[in-house]
Amino acid sequence: MLCIVGIGHMGKAVLAGLARNGSQELTAVVRDESRHAQLAAEFRTVRFVTSPVPCDGAVIAVRPKDVEVAVRQAVDAGAHRILSLATGKTLSGLREIAGVPVARAMPNLGANLGMSATSVCAQDSSTLDWAAEVMSSVGTVVRIDESQIHAATGLAGSGPAYVLLFAASMIEAGVAQGLSIDVARELTIATVQGAGALLAQGDPEETVNAIAVPGGTTQEGVRVLKERDLPDVVSETVAAAARRSKEIMQEMNS
């Protein structure tokens, strides 16, 4: 049985994926009992409790500042292993608190739809296998060394926000060019979905070069993005988020 501790934005997204997957018994720890009835109606197969219960493993989906207490509570209740989704708390820090095998995962909000890009790391291979299996029910999983977690956080943990912001700008730009908001939104959704599928098929720059024929409209649009140095902006964006991940780690472990 798997215990999910903390049903906020990320805990709920992961719970949704795990519940849809349906491969294991799930208990979710929500301290505020007044939320239970609504959550139970949403997740009919999940048991909701106010504090951890004995379980094979606990997924800790609380804010970094709350990790220590949540891990202690889960282990005291009998969790055999811990998978932390929190930014910052290191494997060695988690192990010191937990005293049982620990793993970390960095998912993103795509987990809600079973489409997370999740990085996982652990101190031993069987815990890594377990963490990868748990997180595979909410999307794509890559196994990384813990030293890469800031890069993975900057790229994918925070990544949906970058793409959504780009899409929001496309919608606004469509409206500025005279489309209704509904039409601009529908066109943008389909465009982003199509671009995601194209990305999975091959090298993105090659695809852009194939579409952006000389004298055409795409080439003219791409010219502006390149002149404004989109790669540089994206690079700075990912670097800033990765740097913040490192800072949170330093704050958490100092």
Ligand X SMILES: NC(=O)c1ccc[n+]([C@@H]2O[C@H](COP(=O)([O-])OP(=O)(O)OC[C@H]3O[C@@H](n4cnc5c(N)ncnc54)[C@H](OP(=O)(O)O)[C@@H]3O)[C@@H](O)[C@H]2O)c1
In whole angstroms, how far apart are CA 99 and each of 74, 123, 170, 213? 11, 13, 49, 59
Which tokens in the block code for residue 43?
């997740």
47-63 burial code (b ≥16 CB/10 A, e <16) = ebbeebeebebbbbbbe
- Rounded distance between C-alpha atoms, residue 123 and residue 146, angstroms: 9
Contact between residue 85 and residue 108 where contact means Cβ atoms under 8 Å apart: no
Residue among 42, 47, 86 at smallest CA distance from 68: 86
Q: Which is closer to ligand X, CB of 83 or CB of 184? A: 83
Stretch that binds ligand X, among 41-49, 102-110, 173-181, 209-217 (CB under 6 A): 102-110
Contact between residue 121 and residue 128 where contact means Cβ atoms under 8 Å apart: yes
The reply on whether position 8 binds ligand X by CB under 6 A is yes
Q: Report the residue number whose CB is nearest to ligand X.
A: 8
Q: How far is the CB of 68 from ligand X (least distance, A)?
A: 9
Give the count of residues interacting with ligand X (CB under 6 A). Answer: 26
Q: Contact with ligand X (CB under 6 A): which of 3, 106, 135, 141?
A: 106
The reply on whether position 17 binds ligand X by CB under 6 A is no
Q: Which is closer to ligand X, CB of 8 or CB of 54? A: 8
Q: Contact with ligand X (CB under 6 A): which of 16, 29, 75, 121?
A: 29
The reply on whether position 243 binds ligand X by CB under 6 A is no
Which tokens in the block code for residue 189?
């959704």
| Helix ranges (DSSP H) in 99-229 | 125-136, 149-152, 159-176, 181-201, 204-211, 217-227
- Rounded distance between C-alpha atoms, residue 83 and residue 120, angstroms: 9
First to last CA, the chain: 34
The reply on whether position 6 binds ligand X by CB under 6 A is yes
Stretch that binds ligand X, among 2-10, 16-24, 96-104, 212-220 (CB under 6 A): 2-10
* Residue 92, amino acid: S
Q: Which is closer to ligand X, CB of 43 or CB of 184? A: 43
Show contacts with ligand X in window 55-94 (CB under 6 A). 61-64, 66, 69-70, 73, 85-87
Show contacts with ligand X in window 195-234 (CB under 6 A). none
Show contacts with ligand X in window 131-170 (CB under 6 A). 157
Q: Which is closer to ligand X, CB of 101 or CB of 107? A: 107
Q: How far is the CB of 53 from ligand X (least distance, A)?
A: 12
Contacting residues toward ligand X, per CB under 6 A: 5-11, 29, 31-32, 61-64, 66, 69-70, 73, 85-87, 106-109, 157
